[in-house]
Amino acid sequence: MLAEAERRMRMTSMVAGLAIVVAACGGEKKAEDQQTTAAPGQQESTAATTPAANAPAATAPAGTGKTHDVNMVLDGSKYKYDPDNLTIKAGDVVRFHNKSGGPHNVSFWPDSVPSGAADVLKKNMPDQMAPLQSPLETEPDAVYQISFAGAPKGEYKFYCLPHLALGMHGKLTVQ
Ligand SMILES: [Cu+2]
């Protein structure tokens, strides 16, 4: 029984691996021999978000527009995004800085973004710990960067997972 289950697992993983290889470059054979654990990462790295996914705090992904900075701070006893309301254009990049009172993160409510925006954010947010949720930023001055390339116009409401109950949330508008 166990052997049978294991064989199936292996088949599944090989099929998944093959699918990824085909999606990636159509030629490379190495993924066949890799364990299942390697597959999800590989799959993600084939997505259009490769630069951002590999370098959350480094250079801007290929964007066409401006970069906007938002600080995540503890101001007195108030946790907040500063600014907590900004207007950008599609193609702009927003950089969230972990300034004080962290860890912080950036989470979008899936029902409080424009139609079609969730798919864009899923591609443009590096290292999501859940759909539309950035990782927790723990390092001082850590930067989390989101490209709004291809983002539909409208309002995007977001919040900090650890500090939502303390009122840490914000809004950005893509014009
Ligand atoms: Cu926070």
Distance in Å, CA 123 to ligand 1 centroid = 23
Distance in Å, CA 108 to ligand 1 centroid = 13
pLDDT at 37: 41
In this structure, the dihedral spanned by the alpha carbons of residues 145, 146, 149 and 151, taken in order and rounded to 10 degrees, is -160
| Cβ proximity of 134 and 53 under 8 Å | no
Q: What are the pLDDT tens digits along the chain (175 aa)?
A: 445 545 555 544 444 444 444 444 443 444 444 444 444 434 444 444 444 444 444 444 455 789 999 999 999 999 999 999 999 999 999 999 999 999 999 999 999 999 999 999 999 999 999 999 999 999 999 999 999 999 999 999 999 999 999 999 999 999 9
Distance in Å, CA 129 to ligand 1 centroid = 15
pLDDT at 40: 43
Two structure tokens written together for 26: 């159509």
pLDDT at 4: 54
Distance in Å, CA 134 to ligand 1 centroid = 12
Residue in the block written with tokens 């654990």: 37
What secondary structure letter does DSSP report for 165?
A: G
Among candidate residues 113, 61, 70, the one with its CA nearest the CA of residue 91:
61
pLDDT at 8: 55
Question: How far is residue 101's CA from residue 121's CA, in Å, rounded to a whole number?
Answer: 25
Distance in Å, CA 79 to ligand 1 centroid = 6
* Helix, strand or coil, per DSSP, at residue 148: coil
Catalytic sites, residue numbers = 104, 160, 163, 168
